[in-house]
Amino acid sequence: MCSLTLTLPCIPPKSLNCSTIITRKTTCPSYSVPVKYRSIKIRLQPCKCSSTLSSSSTKKPNWVRRERDKADEVFEEGERVFLVVNFYRFVFIKDPEQEVSKHLAFLQGRDIHGRIYMNEQGINAQYSGPSEDALAYVNWLKEDERFNDILVQISPPVHRHAFPRLKLRYKPSLVQLEGGVSHLPLTDSSMRATPLTPSEWRKRLEDRNVILLDVRNGYEWDIGHFRGAQRPNVDCFRSTTFGISESEDIASDPLANVNKENTEILMYCTGGIRCDVYSTILRQRGYKKLYTLRGGISHYLECEGSVEWIGNLFVFDSRLSLPPPSVVKHDETKVHDDVVFAKCYICNSKVSELRHRNCANLDCNLLFLCCLSCMDELRGCCCSKCTSADRIRPVLSGHERYKKWHHYRDT
């Protein structure tokens, strides 16, 4: 068994084509690394960006891959390596329908699955694909001056797609929020919060006088969050009302009754887009000192590890739960001894793994955390009532996920 470590800088070589590292005897053209092994451990080193952000007009693109320290994926010779890629950009697109057509044409014949949405305000993409196809799309996108400095985040290699199919289309709202977001000035960077690099964010967390705002869903917080962040009392981002609710509920709203002029508010989410959108709303409501974590939690964990972070990261694809790179173990979802926040939805005991499951009742499908005892006793259901439902799916073992509902509708 041989080991190969790749470190991709923030500005990748123009001829980047390191997917060849797992093909038959050949050479990586960018790094001149001969590959003559039957199997290879691939380590992807993270970008260690810690400098202050430059203006949005900078020509230096950012390219980030997550590190796998102690549980490297092992790929046999000839086996396809899949990457999971995420990026977004708010920028004016004059004819988004035509832009969609261009992207569809480029991806024709390429094995890309995921969600890629575009409209007049920009693009939002999460997709998976074989390394050569996944990177080809990024390189092609960066040839457009509107996207040449876009922050692209690439997760560790996996053995299969993280998404069932490709959905690339025009979408009126790049993120779902009550009332829509098309009326918001998202392309005006002055109306969004000030972005902080991961290192700047870590230093700000040392100031306990700031308000730390988790702009995600409650079930995402349940498996991982920054220390000191209050659990969001929502199960869907579209229902978020922090700082804008007419009835200021101090218990559930961290922004209730705060001084809008002087209070520093640090907002974070998975990849950054929800914070950018919501900060625009708060800016319109008079909040002055707004800051977001550039690249979101995923970028922070790549650059700073698990400092001030507790647990895992919830992701909206087949992986569901990702551990911070610095705490990767053989079992990626095991809870560490000092993590006591994650509780079973049914009995409220400490769970043994930070990974959600769906209720086995097809007509319920609740996403919840569950201990092994309750999972066995209730046969994968979230409550005793669901165990007597008409359409019960089989209990899944390990990290399996249920297929789409139509696979079970006649059972």
Spatial CB neighbours of 337, under 8 Å, sequence gap ≥ 6: none
Burial of 90 (0-12, 13-18, 19+ CB in 10 A): buried
Degrees (nearest 5) of the Cα angle 274, 276, 280? 115
Stated as kind and residue range, the H or E segment containing 4 is: strand 2-7
State the SS3 of 14-53.
CCCCHHHHHCCCEEECCCCEEECCCEEEEEEECCCCCCCC
- Amino acid at position 47, single letter: C
Q: At a CB cut-off of 8 Å and minimum separation 6, what does 40 contact?
A: 2, 3, 4, 21, 22, 74, 75, 77
Cα–Cα distance between 114 and 98 in angstroms, integer? 20
How far is the C-alpha of 263 from the C-alpha of 259, rounded, in Å?
6
Q: Which residues are catalytic?
A: 269
